[in-house]
Amino acid sequence: MTGKVQAGSICLFHNAAKHTPEALPGVIEALIGQGYTLVPVSQLILTGEYTIDHTGRQCPA
């Protein structure tokens, strides 16, 4: 369930999805147990000058 998560990943959960409410606590616990810290997406998105590489990552210009 969390095997593809890496530092800087943005995990999107659709609030209208049928199983999100019961799955979310387990996902959060698993990620925290793996040493991840959950932050608002606003802390991950670069502002100012940046480019986006072929993998979709933002890179400072």
Q: Output the CA torsion sign for 44, 45, 51, 57.
A: positive
Whether residue 7 is predicted with pLDDT greater than 90 in this model: the reply is no
Element (H, E) at 24: helix 20-33
Query: Which range of residues forms the domain containing residue 30?
Result: 1-61
- Closest listed residue to residue 53, CA positions, set 5, 2, 8: 8
Does position 54 have pLDDT exceeding 90, yes or no? yes
- Max Cα–Cα distance, the chain, nearest Å: 41
Q: Which residues pair with 52 in a beta bridge?
A: 58
- The pTM of the full predicted model, rounded to 2 decimals, is 0.69
Task: State the average pLDDT for the chain.
Answer: 90
Model confidence at 31, pLDDT cuts 50, 70, 90, reads very high
Domain total of the chain: 1
25 pLDDT tier (thresholds 50, 70, 90): very high
Phi, psi of 52 (to 5 degrees): -120, 125
For position 14, what pLDDT does the model report? 84
